[in-house]
Structure 1
Amino acid sequence: MRLLPGLLLLLPLMSSLAHAEMFDDVFDRGELRIALEADTPPFNFKKDDKLTGFEVELGELLAREMDLRASFITTDDTDLLPGVESGKYDVAINHIAVTPELRDRFDFSEPYSYSKAHLIAPKQEKPLLARLGALTSSQFASRTQATEGVDLRSQVEPKTLGKKDKTLTLAIPFQKGNPAFKSSLDKALQRIKADGRLAALSQKWFDTDMSRPAKP
């Protein structure tokens, strides 16, 4: 099939508009739709029927920096990433570890947190915890039926558990092909890193700064 010269000239513009669609939709709406599971303290959970946790406060900070309202949607691991992929949610902030497989499906923000693989231990339960010291035996627990890409518990293979130098990178996934949205999200994240708010938030919830890779 041959394309008319006029159509050829329009193709770059059409591509640019396609990339801008998510950015325009989010800012026209004035709301950032954030999906999370709300059952993994201290990352995100409910206390007295109110959402709280490190990633809830992070989402609120990022939305405010982007001049948006934060709208949190509680879902489960069967819907979380498919919902982001389909556009049902704008982003997921649910301690998701970046992997090559997920990079094939999503674009990601800059990292907002890091964790050593030795903090992860296989266990079927997901008990509550209050501080980083409890992570070794509880928080990053593997599920009985792991779902691809949902969070650290389902992203770390058993063979990595013994590698203490393995660092897992946590970032925010969103639909591929949205550079304007990525730029806005990354700039918001950079600002809360630069002025120390992200480090303070990490200290509040984990008693340590997990916003930077740990030194060897």
Structure 2
Amino acid sequence: MRFLPGLLLLLPLINPLAHAEMFDDVFDRGELRIALEANTPPFNFMEGEKLTGFEVELGELLAREMDVRASFITTDDSELLPGVESGKYDVAINHIAVTPELQDRFDFSEPYSYSKAYLIAPKPEKPRLSSLDAINGSQFVRPPRPPEGVDLRSQVTTRRAAAKDPTLSLAIPFQKGNPAFKSSLDKALQRIKADGRLTALSQKWFETDMSKPAKP
């Protein structure tokens, strides 16, 4: 079948959304590009030359469930969300809490973790946290810069102060307008929740199940 030259020029306009979905890009590449900072144990950090942590293992599980490979890109907080917004990275898995401000800029996966935290000024050092007591008494969350929403890397003073705070939902941001990608990501997350892998991962890194909201 032959097309007239003028018709060829019109073909890309027939369905302008045909190649707009990042779902197609991710699966054509066979790779999920995951941005993180790699400096906040136990979420994500370097152990010698190895990238590890709760969110690193989570990213690997999600990519495997989506039948692609996980490609981790280390960046700093000033580039993390702008990189997702521009399409440089597919997602950020970096203990980011869902806020109304961020929901204006990004679509989010279902939550993968929950936390109650009282935000105060961060300490310079970032000790590794291995238990809920450490999370409630040590550096855990950092107050965000206003445009970037809440990035859970500040300090929680006491368990009593943390208990008074609303629950923060940690989820995975990605570019708006990608329903097929959201569906694939959410279904992958639902599978690792349903079979207990997410609970096991949370128990491994936090010694408690942070994959479900705390009971009042």
- TM superposition score category, shorter chain reference: 0.7 to 0.9
Contact map agreement 2:117 2:141 (CA 8 A) in 1: no
Q: Report the Cα distance in structure 2 between the residues aligned to 1:199 and 1:144, rounded to whole angstroms.
A: 27
Q: % of aligned pairs identical?
A: 75
2:201 maps to which residue?
Answer: 201
SS of 2:70's equivalent in the other structure is strand
Residue 127 of structure 1, CA deviation: 1.8
Instruction: Find the partner of 2:16 among 3, 14, 17.
Output: 14
Q: Report the Cα distance in structure 2 between the residues aligned to 1:97 and 1:192, rounded to whole angstroms.
A: 20
Q: Report the Cα distance in structure 1 between the residues aligned to 2:28 and 2:83, rounded to whole angstroms.
A: 20
1:85 maps to which residue?
Answer: 85
2:4 maps to which residue?
Answer: none
SS of 1:14's equivalent in the other structure is coil
Q: Report the Cα distance in structure 2 between the residues aligned to 1:66 and 1:93, rounded to whole angstroms.
A: 16
Residue 133 of structure 1, CA deviation: 1.4
Residue 134 of structure 1, CA deviation: 1.1
Amino acid at match of 1:199: T
**1:23-70 Cα shifts (integer Å, max 9, x gaps):** 111100000000000000000000011000000000000000000100
Of 136-145 and 55-64, the range deviating more from structure 2: 136-145
- Distance of aligned partners of 1:164 and 1:32 in 2 relative to their CA distance in 1, 3 Å threshold: same
**Aligned residue runs from structure 1 range 154-169, under 5 A:** 164-169=164-169
Residue 116 of structure 1, CA deviation: 1.0
Aligned residues: 199
**TM-score, with normalisation over the residues of structure 1?**
0.84
- Distance of aligned partners of 1:98 and 1:188 in 2 relative to their CA distance in 1, 3 Å threshold: same
1:127 maps to which residue?
Answer: 126
What are structure 2's unaligned runs of at least 5 residues?
1-9
1:53 maps to which residue?
Answer: 53
What are structure 1's unaligned runs of at least 5 residues?
1-6
**Aligned residue runs from structure 1 range 117-156, under 5 A:** 117-118=117-118, 120-129=119-128, 130-142=130-142, 148-149=148-149, 151-153=151-153
Residue 144 of structure 1, CA deviation: 9.6
**1:182-212 Cα shifts (integer Å, max 9, x gaps):** 0000000000000000000000000000000
**Cα-Cα RMSD:** 2.3
- Distance of aligned partners of 1:147 and 1:163 in 2 relative to their CA distance in 1, 3 Å threshold: farther
